[in-house]
């Protein structure tokens, strides 16, 4: 039987641990249910993806300076030419596959600064190529949000319309796409793909106060906040630093976490401002590393979406410094809706009050998280079964069923 050729697509291997965690979850699904599938990637960091996941990978953009600001005529011309070349490169890559998967990620949102001719254009090329070549493109467990900027909104809407399969990581995402004019009647909502990753053993809490993990982010607001980006960043870093300093004054050990390579700047600023041996920084290279850190902590306070997922999956009581509605939706799904704080307006005193209330209810919340994680695992199992039915040939179904234990 000819092996099924599966392509995976996205800003993978580019330093964002959440994106790579979504890829890891999809590769696990393919190994378990379609072990004969031949997989390769079109992605942002092909060398990293090949080294870490062992699959062939191709660079997403022909022009290597795609994500650098173009100020000179040569760079502007290079970017323009790259858009044309990428149209042909993407179509040729899609055509070589039986199915292409976009694994999770917030590919249909602009909650962080985003230019329409960057990733939204690349996603549109992918989905249009799938429709033209007859290769189904599946947006699996993706995030979406309302988009004010018209060019980005148009590209995102048409990408979703052209995709052969869509599922979302929360109801807000499906609602956002419906509001943009996408028919979502057959689209399902399931927990984020990262909940399919294995979790480390939960820590047995002790009577003595333990470590607090604080997940930070190089946060400058969203796509509509460009005019006040520096002000938002300063307030976020100042408020988070004051919170960490207050924990240290209480004698607590603080472990700083990141989720993207750019977050190291915020870690350095906090370490410099607090200057205490009680504050250390983790060097996490994957979501598995982050889960180990959060599982070993008493409590987690985090900003990045997948930092929150790691902590919740590990069963650790968590407080969200949310920068978008998706964080609040996630916390509500996991039974911690009361423990959200706005990242744009970090009030260290109020954050400390919320943190202390969270710790008072620690034992109760650990039980809640254990129950919600069981539910998430069951929902993701249903999700993967639906993927198999929708994306893979009947012959592959039969092969998978014969090989299944």
Query: Residue 200 burial (CB < 10 Å; 0-12/13-18/19+)?
Result: middle
pLDDT band at 25 (very low <50, low <70, confident <90, very high): very high
Q: What is the pLDDT of residue 201?
A: 83
Q: What is the pLDDT of residue 81?
A: 83
Fold exhibited by the domain 212-369: Rossmann fold (3.40.50)
Look up residue 394 and give its two tokens: 């009947």
Q: Where in the chain is the domain with CATH 3.40.50.2000?
A: 5-189, 212-369
Of 3.40.50.2000, 3.30.9.10, 3.40.50.300, 3.40.50.720, the CATH number of 5-189 is 3.40.50.2000
CA 146, 151, 156, 162 torsion-angle sign: positive
* Mean pLDDT for the stretch of residues 233-252: 97
Asked if the model's pLDDT at residue 400 lies above 60, the reply is no
CA separation for the pair 52, 138 (Å, rounded) = 23
pLDDT band at 223 (very low <50, low <70, confident <90, very high): confident
What are the helix (H) ranges across 58-193?
A: 73-95, 119-133, 150-162, 171-179
pLDDT band at 393 (very low <50, low <70, confident <90, very high): low
Task: Please give the torsion angle defined by the CA atoms of residues 57, 58, 60 and 65, in that order, rounded to the nearest 10 degrees.
Answer: 120
Q: List pLDDT tens digits, range 7-23.
A: 999 999 999 999 999 99
Q: What is the pLDDT of residue 227?
A: 86
Task: Please give the torsion angle defined by the CA atoms of residues 260, 266, 271 and 274, in that order, rounded to the nearest 10 degrees.
Answer: -140
Judge whether 137 and 103 are in contact, CB under 8 Å.
no
Q: What is the pLDDT of residue 222?
A: 82
Q: What is the pLDDT of residue 399?
A: 41
Token pair 């590769």 is found at 27
Judge whether 276 and 246 are in contact, CB under 8 Å.
no
Distances (CA, A) of 403 to 26, 32, 311, 381, 397: 19, 9, 34, 17, 10
pTM: 0.90
Q: List pLDDT tens digits, range 202-212.
A: 777 666 788 99
Of 78-82, 163-167, 277-281, which range is least confident? 78-82
Asked if the model's pLDDT at residue 317 lies above 70, the reply is yes
Q: At what angle are helices 119-133 and 150-162 packed, to 10 degrees?
A: 30
Judge whether 152 and 226 are in contact, CB under 8 Å.
no
What is the widest separation between alpha-carbon atoms in the chain?
Answer: 65
pLDDT band at 397 (very low <50, low <70, confident <90, very high): very low
Q: List pLDDT tens digits, range 37-85.
A: 999 999 999 999 999 999 999 999 987 666 665 556 666 677 778 889 9
């Amino acid at each position: 039987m000819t092996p099924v050729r599966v392509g995976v697509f996205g800003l993978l291997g580019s330093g964002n641990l959440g994106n790579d965690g979504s890829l890891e979850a999809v590769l696990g699904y393919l190994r378990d249910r379609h072990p004969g599938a031949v997989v390769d990637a079109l992605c942002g960091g092909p060398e990293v993806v090949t080294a870490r996941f062992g699959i062939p990978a191709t660079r997403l953009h022909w022009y290597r300076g795609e994500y650098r600001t173009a100020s000179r005529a040569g760079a502007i011309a290079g970017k323009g030419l790259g858009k044309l070349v990428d149209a042909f490169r993407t179509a040729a890559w899609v055509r070589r596959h039986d199915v292409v998967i976009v694994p999770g990620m917030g590919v249909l949102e602009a909650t962080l600064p985003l230019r329409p001719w960057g990733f939204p254009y690349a996603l549109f090329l992918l989905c249009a190529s799938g429709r033209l070549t007859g290769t189904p493109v599946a947006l699996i467990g993706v995030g979406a949000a309302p988009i004010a900027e018209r060019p980005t909104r148009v590209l995102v809407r048409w990408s979703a319309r052209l995709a052969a399969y869509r599922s979302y990581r929360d109801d807000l995402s499906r609602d956002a796409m419906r509001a943009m004019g996408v028919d979502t009647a057959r689209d399902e909502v399931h927990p984020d793909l990262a909940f399919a990753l294995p979790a480390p053993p939960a820590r047995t809490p002790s009577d003595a106060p333990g470590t607090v993990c604080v997940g930070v982010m190089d946060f400058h607001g969203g796509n509509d906040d460009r005019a006040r980006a520096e002000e938002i960043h300063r307030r976020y870093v100042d408020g988070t630093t004051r919170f960490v300093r207050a924990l240290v004054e209480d004698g607590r050990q603080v472990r700083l976490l990141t989720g993207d390579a750019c977050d190291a700047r915020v870690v350095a600023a906090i370490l410099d401002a607090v200057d205490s041996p009680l504050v250390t920084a983790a060097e996490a290279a994957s979501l598995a590393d982050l889960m180990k850190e959060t599982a070993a902590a008493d409590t987690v306070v985090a900003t990045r979406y997948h930092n929150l997922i790691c902590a919740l999956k590990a069963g650790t009581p968590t407080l969200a410094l949310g920068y978008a509605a998706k964080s609040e939706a996630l916390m509500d799904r996991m039974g911690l809706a009361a423990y959200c704080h706005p990242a744009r307006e970090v009030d260290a005193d109020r954050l400390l009050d919320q943190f202390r209330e969270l710790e008072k209810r620690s034992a109760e919340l650990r039980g809640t998280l254990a129950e919600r994680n069981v539910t998430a695992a069951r929902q993701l199992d249903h999700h993967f079964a639906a993927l198999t039915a929708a994306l893979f040939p009947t012959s592959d179904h039969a092969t998978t069923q014969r090989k299944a234990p």
